[in-house]
Structure 1
């Protein structure tokens, strides 16, 4: 069986007629909105030019918002809303024309999302179709994600698919349960829980070279997001135990601890230690930043070598990720275009405490930290943090630790065999999103011409 037979292709196929029609509709609706506005303001050239500009801005910003995440989605959504509001003001005396113009812009936006589909994503390298698991085992954390295991009836769903559920009880050791499942003959092992639990069971799968299934039953499920799973349909991830797609992805190590997403030091690692953080992440971060980065706050003793091989200046935030993120905030929430690059992503943020704090808080709240002037990013196969402190606060996949320096990080290229359902979205938001407005327009024109969007 090849990937085409399983419903996945190794490269973007020619868009089907439905998507070509959607691309035509997106562009035609925009053109029609332009015609409506032109007819309405034909006798007033000044208002006509302004209205045409607002129509184009609203449509193109709307297209871009639908295929992006984080700060770019927020910014383009706000821009589209403001443009529509301006159009409403201009057309306030022409109710019919107003309704038609706004409706056409919204129709163009919705059609563009259908037209673009997942073409912006590259097919995972080395992906292949695999048959059903013979002895699948799923470990479950019943407390994770506010009780998603029970809410989505994952025990019953697993049994229905012929998968043996193993529910974590108070006092159980998750690694020991995973090792026992392997000893009992599991040929596919999975985890329903948060990213910390995913990393631990994935490490057991790595050590025994077994396929791994991620079931997004945690709170944020960043790992599942970048695997291309639908985080809102938790039980659907169990289909990976049936006929599925398997590929190899990277893992990362901090010392001998595997992580699947990222590890952070400095400001964010300190914020994670707060008891209030888990219930109010953004509010807690914004509240604590002035205390941690104010003029009287002591600097973080985090020493490392930059990409040029020279000792780097002090940084207030260091983020080491399993692969390269499109980063939105200091807490590492972002998305990866690929998970098989064989490198760590390294991000550092340095803050001039006398003048940069307001700009940093604004960038954090808006989800566009990469635009902050003290932001620096590069890749490396390995990375080391040194310090004069006895212990360094570090957040690993969202969990807080205090570890003695030096902290040594390294990438484990292709370490994990991961299975995903045939009909899962199959790509992360970063992989699907055009990087800007111009590329979104170009993508629509390519689809209309019968070519993949990228």
Structure 2
């Protein structure tokens, strides 16, 4: 995004700030007007929607007659949803649309100007760069983007992973053959393997986002929609140090998931038929007879309450919603981020959905988040179901998870944004409005000229 040399916002950013503030004010006016003119209709619509969600959840996590009864109640509530004046739903939809417009305009207005620049240094072109490619990651992104051909044209040696190859062995062999920079085109699981090899040999690492979600690339500030752009990091680039997580003896770049999600990804048929597998497994994971075998310390060191989902990340996530998993503002804090979620009753579900839709998941009573340098998990079972960077594993209990501060040297293209979505977004509505108003009147968003 273009910016003026004096740090002040461009005309485009000021116009976007005006649109964002105006759209947010209009959304507020619509909601207040609807509450004044249609209070009963809105209250009834919210009550019925909550009933549909609670009954639907109860039907999903139960079997036999209780499932039939809950499903019947949910259908009845859904039918009654049409009773409130449709005008009330139109007003709610209008308010939601205005909020979405405000958020989109705010992103344009603020850009990456709120992000703190990490400590970086300039580095010269790699003389013997090697790029390992996983052609199966991300539904073949490496192949469709012709990453191998593009790498070869830039003087980078591509090594494509075959079905029965060992990725770690290929990376180690590349080091033995004289590689001075190691790169990986694949998902987070593949990134972690090659990053660990680079870390062990103190070599720089290049992340090329060619997986499905590419969380690590996103939080490094890379453009996930243009994986080939990351190849520029093999040329004259910038280098920074980031942390790596370690679960047992496995290094991870993104997170370790335990509990319900980890059990789901290990379930037979999950990859081929996710919806059917989830429906089949939900009663065992969340139903009245569901087990919560995991135990772990809470933020104060005392035993924490049982949870359905436990997420341990390499650096704390900034979570507004559970879907999408948010992003990490920093990758160099030397701590793990811990998130736990517990859904104890069907009536918790409407509150969870409301917090999710409002982008304020921290308000859900079953949600907890904290950070710590190390984390230990024990299970009533000898093996713990985990998903390490999305890859299902079964690891022995107790499982110790830690962080390797500043362990990895990462090279990035000099023109990459270099900041994650969390680093670029203001914390809270008040700070967002303050930054937008500063941009609107022609001042830097942060009050300084970083």
Alignment pair present for 1:169 and 2:178: no
Q: Does 1:333 align with 2:325?
A: yes
1:121 paired to 2:115 = yes
Deviation at 1:355, TM superposition (A): 4.5
Indicate the RMSD between aligned Cα atoms, in angstroms. 3.7
1:212-251 map, 5 Å: 212-251=205-244
Cα gap change, 1:113 to 1:153, in 2 (>3 Å): same
Per-residue deviation, residues 394-444 of structure 1 (Å, max 9, x unmatched): 111111011111101111110100111112221111111123333222112
Q: How many positions carry a matched residue from both structures?
A: 390
For 1:396-407, list aligned pairs within 5 A.
396-407=388-399
**Cα contact 2:317–2:328 (8 A) shared by 1:** yes
TM-score normalised by structure 1 residue count: 0.76
Query: In the alignment, which of 373, 378, 387 is matched to residue 381 of structure 1?
Result: 373
Deviation at 1:320, TM superposition (A): 1.0
Q: Distance in 2 between matches of 1:282 and 1:430?
A: 30
For residues 361 and 5 of structure 2, the distance between their equivalents in structure 1, rounded to whole angstroms, comes to 35
TM superposition shift of 1:373: 1.0
Distance 1:213 1:243, change over 3 A: same
Structure 1 residues 13 and 430 mapped into 2: Cα distance closer, same or farther (>3 Å)?
A: farther
| Candidates 316, 328, 338, aligned match of 1:324 | 316
**In structure 2, distance between residues paired with 1:366 and 1:280:** 30
- Identify the match of residue 183 of structure 1 among 163, 176, 196: 176
Residue 202 of structure 1 pairs with residue 195 of structure 2: yes
Could you say what secondary structure the match of 1:386 adopts? strand
Are the equivalent residues in 1 in contact too, given 2:20–2:106 (CA < 8 A)? no
Correspondent of 1:395 among 383, 387, 391? 387
Give the distance between the partners of 2:18 and 2:324, measured in 1 at CA. Answer: 36
2:254 matched residue in structure 1: 261
**Superimposed CA distance per residue, residues 212-261 of structure 1 (whole angstroms, 9 cap, x where no aligned partner):** 00111111111111111111001111111111121000001011100011
Contact 2:384-2:395 within 8 A present in 1 as well: yes
**Would the alpha carbon gap of residues 183 and 33 (structure 1) be closer, same or farther in structure 2, given more than 3 Å must change?**
closer
Bigger mean CA deviation after superposition, 282-291 or 299-308:
282-291
Instruction: Give 1:451 shift.
Output: 3.8
Conserved? CA contact 1:26–1:110, under 8 Å? no
**Matches of residues 5-154 of structure 1 in structure 2 within 5 Å?**
14-16=6-8, 18=10, 20=11, 22-24=13-15, 26-27=17-18, 50=33, 82=91, 85=94, 112-124=106-118, 126-154=119-147
Distance 1:362 1:24, change over 3 A: closer
CA distance in 2, matches of 1:416, 1:116: 30
How far residue 314 of structure 1 moved from its aligned partner, in angstroms, is 2.4
**Per-residue deviation, 1:378:** 1.1
Conserved in 1, the CA contact under 8 Å of 2:187 and 2:212?
yes
Structure 2 residues not aligned, in runs of 5+: 37-89
SS in 2 for 1:295: coil
Contact 2:21 2:436 in 1 (8 A): no
Task: Provide the secondary structure at the position in 1 that maps to 2:408.
Answer: strand
Q: Retained in 2: the 8 A contact 1:23–1:111? A: no
| Gaps in structure 1 of 5+ consecutive residues | 1-6, 38-45, 54-80, 89-101
Residue 333 of structure 1, CA deviation:
2.2
